[in-house]
Amino acid sequence: MLKGTAEFLALNPGQTLQPTEFSFVRFKEGTYCAIFTFSQQPKVAPVPAEREFIIDCRSIAALSPLSTPS
């Protein structure tokens, strides 16, 4: 969830308002940035594409862990 918002970030515009599920990759050396990956369903191909999302950590208000299947 980004600062100043009430909902978790959704990067699939035009689809459902489901929050995007990110995987943390690493912190970017020498900056306040964090790198995450997420899958995005392309409009044409049936296979989701892996995307990278870089954000200034100071813009993040909350993170919510996902439960992992056992």
Please give the pLDDT value at position 24: 92
> Can you tell me which residue has the tokens 């020498």?
30
Contacts of 27 (CB under 8 A, 6+ apart): 33, 34, 35, 57
> How does pLDDT run across 3-47, given as a tens digit for each residue?
999 989 988 766 567 888 899 999 988 899 999 999 877 666 677
Please give the pLDDT value at position 14: 61
Nearest to 4 by CA among 58, 65, 64, 68: 58
Q: ∠6-3-12 over CA atoms, to 5°?
A: 65
